[in-house]
Structure 1
Amino acid sequence: MASSVSVTRVLLWVAAPLLFGTLVTQYRDSLANTGSLQCAALSLALWGKVSYPDSSTYEASISSYWSLQEASLSPSCVVKPTSAFDVSIAIKTISFVNIGLSCDFAIRGGGHTPWASSANIEKGVTIDMSAIKSVVFNKDKSIASVGAGAVWGDVYRTVDAAGLAVIGGRGATIGVGGLTTGGGISYFSARKGFACDNVANYEIVLANGNIVNANSKENADLWLALKGGSNNFGVVTRFDLKTFKQGKFWGGSILYGDDASPALIQAFSDLNKATGYDEYAALIQSFSYVSGGVGFVVAANIEYTKEGVENPATFQPFTAAQPQFINSMRTSNLTDFTVEQMYITTTFKSQLAFLQSAYSNFKSISPQLSAVPNLSFSWTIQPIPPALTSKSAPLGGNMLGLDPSEGALVLGLISATWDTAADDELVYRVGKQFYDNIVSEAKSKGLYNDWIYLNYASKWQDPIGGYGVENKKKLQAASRKYDPSGLFQKHVPGGFKLF
């Protein structure tokens, strides 16, 4: 028998159209731009799960965003569902209210994307998924079912205890939902592919409130669209992730002085091979400029996921490079390694001369930011070899548009952290200038690649367009089929839209 609480919610939902149809008509002009009516409807339909400014629940949600830009926004209310059923009610309520007036909403998973309005909203409604975070195995532990509001630290603690792993993020506080629907690069990606390639099933709430599954046999076109298509089709409430056996492995971070940069660029170029790439190797290499007189430093986050192997030949050029200030290399588990962390991204073919030129450009442009207090301005490069991109097709494909025949690629990320809004314009301008310089040179040398990694993209970039014309058409077709009213295109401003 259904609980009294569930019955009450259903009755409230049935009554809501009668009550709010009248309110929409009477108060449209005064409420159209505030989200107040939407919040009132949600409060009735989801009793006790809607919070307002000045409440502790609301403030806890807003203050937990990764970037100050996101935390500076003030939605009219925050909805915190605890089940797919709650999400269904929320979407039905929002859809109904939007018949009478237009009010936008945001969907927040881990809240890690840095630019404002990506997962929060000024006025309107923010749906905070953080309470839906369970991690449960199926009977034979071949699948870990993960709530869409979980962060990867939640997941890894559970799978580590079982001697297993899943393909997921490389930071403990990164959200499962955003990373996975945007592609997702893992320490294991050269062995297993992108995170989205390893989702057996998505549970998703559509624009009409229906809760459906998307997998290779059921709503297969939606399953494919969600493998890179982000938040354009509904609200994913559960990811069924494929597991695999994995014990402890060797990894950690090394912080170098800038004198090590030439050797590290050479080592990166030698590692990122079109053929013969060591599939157990994972690397994030960052060149950084730190204000306050610190200057240039280099950091390498290194993981080698073959159990029982320490300091393999693959990584010895990195472990030998000097000078080193900090070295945390050790053998540990997945949970431990993910506790260690303006985005603009670009992709280009791997070529030593171009890497050296881009590094020189980074060094020449960074001192423009010397007066910005507490600034860290970084250029991060990661290998995207055919060993990684070739894994997608056997797993059902994805929407990312990467072709293994393109050879070894380099994923470049320009990022920065700083303290004050007064410096925003300068930091953004210098970051964009560096990006423009890299792209211009890559294009002139025939090294530029159209792929833009959605999870690193800045607000003004077009990662969906970078997937290719045919893949974009497939995504648009899925949107028309599963969201014919365009709710997630017209009323969810965060993310990257299809139309």
Structure 2
Amino acid sequence: MRPLFWGRLRTSGRSPSLARPVFWTALVAAAALPGAVLATNPPTCQVVAAQMPGRVIFPSDPAYSAAQSSYYAGQARNMKPGCIFMPTTTDEVSQFVKMVGARNQPDAKFAVRGGGHTLWKGAANIDGGITVDMRLINATVLNADSSVASLGAGGRFGNVYHSLKPHGLTVLGGRVPSIGVGGFLSSGGMTFLSRRHGFACNSVVGYEIVLAGGKVLHVTQDSNPDLWLALKGGINNYGIVTRFDVATYPDKMWYDLVQYNFTDAILADQARVLCNFMKPGPTFDPDAMMGLFLDFAGGAFFVRNALWHTGGDANPLVYKPFTDIPNMGSSGQLLAVADVVDQFGANIPPSTPRAFQLDWSFVNPPAEVYVELFKIWQDGVKALSDVQGFFVEFLTQPQAVVQKGTQSLYGLEAGRTDYVMMLMTAAYANAADDERVRVGITNIVRAQRGLLRRKGYLIDFVYPNYADKSEGVFKSWGADSVAKLQAASLKYDPQGIFQKRVPGGLKVF
């Protein structure tokens, strides 16, 4: 297996593989059902198909299998919705929510899917209900002065970046091409520019959202400040976002991927250099983002640094301590973000049979603490090495810097530059190993978190984009943030449609 780094629709129009009329051959009869038949309370999928012919895929359609197989992880692929609804406009989403929300039937439940990259079961798919597949709502449109890009919620960032590249612009988005716009921006968003501009959700200046009951609302900080804040991390608790209006930024980046031999001496050097890189003070460079990747695959360990700099300079001096560590070579160059994402994303396979991941954050500790964290990981991984197809990646990277004066739900101190995030992701072949891998990875992380807690460096924050549903994401942000999330839910969804009818995802209640 190639090393796994976790992470081109046109500027408008539909993907050819998703738009052919053959998708809908099974729906003609349903669309023509007489009122007497429909009045017998047919399945919700049939009702939606009758009201919006050409937008629903049933299990008998070839496109159903294609849509299911496009999820990244097996946990999502193996779920079986009763049908898949594929809207092309906000109005169609509104009709769907109004229609399904009014039905008091067991099958009137749904999931919302964008890129389909979240690993755990139920995040963006459903058993027996309806999956709302947003991928046909994928346009990327610049405003008159190119300061804002409107992104369809079903787009993927590889396509977004290529759409903006001719304009010399980029946005705060995912770092591999397959990351979906909707899930990424509604869950926070760690980006190449996060040290200067914070989480990607803070670049959103407006949302188009379909609320429970089908009402379409354009949300800004001025129009609906409570909902505007709740959407910056509140995921699918308030409605279906169909468009994100986001700030644009200049498009040029230095990218280098440096590989090293995996030895105790190299790990000690990495710990020392990373610790110094993360120290606050006059040497802090807001354009410098990086990731330290420790990988285990095929019975062997690997180490590499991904170095990204958004200041437009070649060979930034801030990375010299990393490249001075004896290495196996690198190929740094100035590129557009679209090209960086293509290169970096080439290391990630298109799917994985099974996967599990956890993330946690802490204050930059001394170098010897990093070495202890690396050692805990090595020892724990060896105990799982006989799992078929086992691969694990341990990523250490700077946390996004919450900008001063920015409203945030995350409970992180604004302006703090020495927060660090770790992410551990395991991939493997068989569902029979789900529990063993979950317990093994959880025990490694529990030991690492315990070390950081005892030494006074652990912080409560769990980043939602990388988190497993078991991690208590919203609780980790603090009681005040939970209260704001819940208040917005009660105000904008008083019947709890997106709490009860959308069972997947992270819930605020």
TM over 0.5: yes
Gaps of 5+ in 2: 1-31, 349-355
Separation of aligned partners in 2, 1:202 and 1:54: 35
* Cα distance between partner residues in 2 of 1:189 and 1:47: 43
**2:272 match:** 266
Rounded Cα–Cα distance in structure 2 between residues aligned with 1:365 and 1:476: 38
Residue in structure 2 matching 1:417, options 427, 442, 459: 427
SS at match of 1:472: helix
Residue 361 to residue 85, structure 1, CA distance change in 2 (3 Å): same
Letter in 2 for 1:150: G
Does residue 46 of the first structure (1) align with residue 52 of the second (2)? Answer: yes
- The residue that corresponds to 1:165 in the other structure is 170
Q: 1:374 pairs with 389, 405, 416, which one?
A: 389
C-alpha deviations, 1:313-359, integer Å up to 9, x for none?
A: 211122222232x6342221100111224110111111023211111
Indicate yes or no: 2:462 matched with 1:455. no
Q: Secondary structure at the match of 1:455?
A: coil
Counterpart position of 1:193? 198
- Could you state the TM-score of these two structures normalised by the residue count of structure 2? 0.87
Name the SS of the counterpart of 2:291 in structure 1: strand
Whether the 8 Å contact between 1:229 and 1:399 is mirrored in structure 2 is no
Structure 2 CA distance for partners of 1:348 and 1:491, relative to 1, 3 Å = same
Compared with structure 1, are the counterparts of its residues 374 and 327 closer, same or farther at alpha carbon in structure 2 (3 Å cutoff)?
Answer: farther
Report the residue type matching 2:380 in the other structure. I
Match of 1:321 among 325, 328, 336: 325
Whether contact under 8 Å (2:258, 2:327) holds in the other structure is no
- Specify whether residues 274 and 493 from structure 1 end up closer, same or farther in structure 2 by C-alpha distance, changes over 3 A only: farther
**Pair 1:74-2:80 in alignment:** yes
Q: Do residues 349 (structure 1) and 363 (structure 2) align?
A: yes
Within the candidate set 399, 403, 406, 1:384 is matched to 399
SS of 1:454's equivalent in the other structure is coil
The within-5 A match list for 1:83-162 is 83-97=89-103, 99-101=104-106, 103-162=108-167
Which one of the candidate residues 247, 252, 258 is aligned to 1:254?
A: 258
* Alignment-mate amino acid for residue 380 of structure 1: L
- Is the contact made by 2:423 and 2:466 (CA closer than 8 Å) also made in structure 1? yes
1:358-395 Cα deviation digits (max 9, x unpaired): 1111111111122123322121111126xx12x1x43x
Q: Show CA shifts across 1:132-186 (max 9, x none).
A: 0000111111110010000101110111110111111111110011111111011
C-alpha offsets along residues 201-239 of structure 1, whole Å, 9 cap, x if unaligned? 000000110110110111221111101111110000000
Letter in 1 for 2:393: S
Rate the CA distance shift 1:409–1:484 in 2: closer, same or farther, 3 A: same
1:23 matched residue in structure 2: 40
* Counterpart position of 2:9: none
Moved more, 360-369 or 201-210: 360-369
Match of 1:34 in 2: none
Amino acid at match of 1:141: S
Q: Which amino acid aligns with 1:329?
A: G
Query: Residue 46 of structure 1: CA displacement?
Result: 1.5
**Is the CA contact 1:200–1:215 (under 8 Å) kept in the aligned structure 2?**
yes
Q: Specify which of 61, 71, 76 is matched with residue 67 of structure 2.
A: 61
Residue type at the aligned position of 1:303: W
Q: Distance in 1 between matches of 2:107 and 2:53?
A: 23
Inter-partner Cα distance in structure 1 for 2:275 and 2:442: 25
Please say if residues 107 and 129 of structure 2, whose CA atoms lie closer than 8 Å, have aligned partners that are also in contact. Answer: no
Find the aligned partners of 2:131 and 2:175 in 1 and give their Cα distance: 26
Counterparts of 2:171 and 2:382, CA distance in 1: 41
Following TM superposition, by how much is the alpha carbon of 1:470 offset from its aligned partner in structure 2, in angstroms? Answer: 0.7
CA distance in 1 between counterparts of 2:452 and 2:109 reads 39
Matched, 1:360 2:349: no
Change (3 A) 1:431 1:100: closer
Residue 100 of structure 1 deviates from its aligned partner by 4.4
How far apart in 1 are the matches of 2:38 and 2:414? 54
CA distance in 2, matches of 1:22, 1:401: 51
Aligned residues: 463
Distance change >3 Å, CA 40–CA 327, structure 1 → 2: same
Give SS of 2:237's match.
Answer: coil
2:471 aligned counterpart, secondary structure: coil
> Contact (CA 8 Å) 1:347, 1:448: kept in 2 or not?
yes
Give the whole-Å Cα distance in 1 for the aligned partners of 2:393 and 2:326.
Answer: 20
CA separation of 1:193 and 1:131: change in aligned 2, threshold 3 A: same
1:406 CA displacement? 5.9
Query: What is the CA distance between 1:299 and its match in structure 2?
Result: 2.2
The one-letter amino acid of 2:146's match is K
Match of 1:477?
Answer: 487
Distance (Å, rounded) in 2 between the aligned partners of 1:486 and 1:257: 53
Asked if the contact 1:181/1:230 (under 8 Å) is kept, the reply is: yes
Q: Is the 8 A contact 2:101 2:108 kept in 1?
A: no
- Provide the C-alpha distance between the structure 1 equivalents of 2:183 and 2:441, rounded to a whole number of angstroms: 24
Q: 1:468 offset after TM fit, Å?
A: 1.1
Counting aligned pairs with the same residue, the percent is 34
The structural deviation recorded for 1:424 is 2.2
Q: Distance in 2 between matches of 1:61 and 1:113?
A: 15
Asked whether the 8 Å contact 1:183–1:400 carries over to 2, the reply is: no
Tell me which residue corresponds to 1:440: 450
Contact 1:272 1:384 in 2 (8 A): no
Instruction: Report the residue type matching 1:367 in the other structure.
Output: K
Q: Report the equivalent of 1:241.
A: 246
2:295 maps to a residue whose letter is: S
Of stretches 416-425 and 445-454 in structure 1, the one that deviates more from structure 2 is 416-425
Change (3 A) 1:19 1:407: farther
1:265 touches 1:355 (CA, 8 Å); kept in 2?
yes
Point out the more displaced range, 269-278 or 215-224: 269-278
Amino acid of the residue matched to residue 257 of structure 2?
Answer: S
**Which secondary structure state, in structure 2, belongs to the residue aligned with residue 344 of structure 1?**
strand
Structure number with the higher helix fraction is: 1
Shift in Å at residue 407 of structure 1?
5.8
User: CA contact under 8 A between 1:45 and 1:93: conserved in structure 2?
Assistant: no
Equivalent position SS for 2:470 = coil
Q: In structure 2, what is the equivalent of residue 211 of structure 1?
A: 216
- Of 167, 171, 181, the residue aligned with 1:176 is 181
Could you say what secondary structure the match of 1:343 adopts?
strand
- Return the alpha-carbon distance in structure 1 between the equivalents of residues 64 and 56 of structure 2: 9
